[in-house]
Amino acid sequence: MSHFQTFNELKLPAVLNRALDAMAFREPTPVQAASIPPAIEGKDILGTAQTGTGKTGAFGIPLHRYLQTQDTKQALVLAPTRELAAQILDVLNQMAKGSQLKGLLVVGGESFSRQAEVFFRGCDFIVATPGRLNDHLGENTMHLNNIGMLILDEVDRMLDMGFAPQIKQILKFLPKERQTMVFSATLPPEVKTIAESFLKSPVRVSIGHTHQPAPKVKEETIHTSATEKNALLLKELEQRQGKIIIFAKTQNRSERLAGILHDKGHKVVLLHGGRTQGQRKQALMKFRQGSHRIMVATDLAGRGIDVEDIEHVINYDPPQSREDYIHRIGRTGRFGKEGKALNFLVPTDVDGEQIVTGRKPRPRVIYRSRRPRFQTRLA
């Protein structure tokens, strides 16, 4: 089956078609059009596409079609963060509406014993982070004998986070005969090497330029000083409408920045790895519902943010790599919508210009300020 124009062409089970209609799935995104047909045929997939291009649908639809035709089989999805895992499960649960299929979320911060109980009561698809799933496998509270389909989402981030040993351990518990799909926003050599080690003659799907921002994201960079950066940020927030994510490089800096914005009257939520699962859920809910329009986040926590209609991404601190930059600004400009990304660079951000532009910096950079000074600064 070649690329398709509408989901009706796929001859999916009627219950799945109804669920997709309710979710407003009409025409496939490019990554869905390229991935779903070979996935339905049972082939392994190695896919790269930017965030916000419909990757969850690209593996979720084949997953549900598979489970609705294989009564005794299960599917496993691995994701790098709790937030991303929860959002994937939410999409898969929507696709399961009207069927008998049941999902299970296996992440840290939730009851270990309850996860084991739900597993043994019966579930059809599991969405997990590698660390918590390995804990269950080590305690023999879960088994993977019936997994017929494995999906690894954002595998580049999982490897960045040091999950390679956990992934390899999980693979030991899986049947050798299975279908595997790997999706990544970027594909550096180390990611390609490890992915191909557990894929069998995969179909290669590559959508867009994964080292370039989405085409409808307008980027801007302000060169300033550390003492003036907060004043500039506050002025930019006053001038911008809609939801805004601000990225800071550490938990401490994100805490202090959120406090400064709160003191200036902004409704702010905070998301970083040091927050409890309950705090993270609450922050995402407030941000998603719009009661708080600004989120301050770190890279680790921000990777799992999947919120519609984010108009602006502000990089208060530059990320550590070009790949992280693409992931950050990929929170906006999703599904063909326009978005804006603003970068602050100070003289000590030595590699910042190359990271945000993808080009080597000019030999001489003049740092300029566009706003009056505001003296509160972060250490």
Confidence (pLDDT) at 215: 63
- Confidence tier at 278 by pLDDT (50, 70, 90): confident
* CA–CA gap between residue 274 and residue 259 (Å, rounded): 16
- Confidence tier at 369 by pLDDT (50, 70, 90): very low
Confidence (pLDDT) at 367: 45
Confidence (pLDDT) at 196: 84
Confidence (pLDDT) at 321: 83
User: For 7-206, which CATH superfamily applies?
Assistant: P-loop containing nucleotide triphosphate hydrolases (3.40.50.300)
Domain ranges (residues) in the chain: 7-206, 217-357
Identical fold, 7-206 and 217-357:
yes
- Which residue's structure tokens are 């089956």? 1
Per-residue pLDDT averaged across 235-256, rounded? 94
Per-residue pLDDT averaged across 356-365, rounded? 64
What pLDDT, in 10s, does the model give residues 22-81? 998 888 888 999 999 999 999 999 998 876 678 999 999 999 999 998 878 999 999 998
User: For 217-357, which CATH superfamily applies?
Assistant: P-loop containing nucleotide triphosphate hydrolases (3.40.50.300)
What pLDDT, in 10s, does the model give residues 3-25? 677 888 888 999 999 999 999 88
Rounded to the nearest 10°, the torsion over CA 330, 332, 333, 338 is: -150
**b vs e for 250-272, b when ≥16 Cβ sit within 10 Å of the residue's Cβ?**
ebebbbbbbebbeeeebebbbbb
Which of the pair, 285 or 173, is modelled with greater confidence? 173
Per-residue pLDDT averaged across 330-354, rounded? 86
Confidence (pLDDT) at 120: 94
Per-residue pLDDT averaged across 75-99, rounded? 94
Query: Among 154, 97, 161, which residue's Cα sits nearest to residue 127?
Result: 154
CA 113 and chain centroid, separation: 27
Q: Identify whether the C-beta of residue 46 lies closer than 8 Å to the C-beta of residue 200.
A: no
Confidence (pLDDT) at 364: 44
Query: Among 107, 109, 134, 106, which residue's Cα sits nearest to residue 118?
Result: 106
Mean of per-residue pLDDT scores for the chain = 88
- Confidence tier at 219 by pLDDT (50, 70, 90): very high
- Confidence tier at 377 by pLDDT (50, 70, 90): low
Confidence (pLDDT) at 58: 95
Which of the pair, 195 or 127, is modelled with greater confidence? 127
Asked whether the whole model's pTM tops 0.85, one would answer no
Confidence (pLDDT) at 303: 65
Task: Collect all residues with Cβ–Cβ distance below 8 Å to 187 and sequence separation of at least 6.
Answer: 48, 156, 195, 206, 210
Say whether pLDDT at 375 is over 50. no
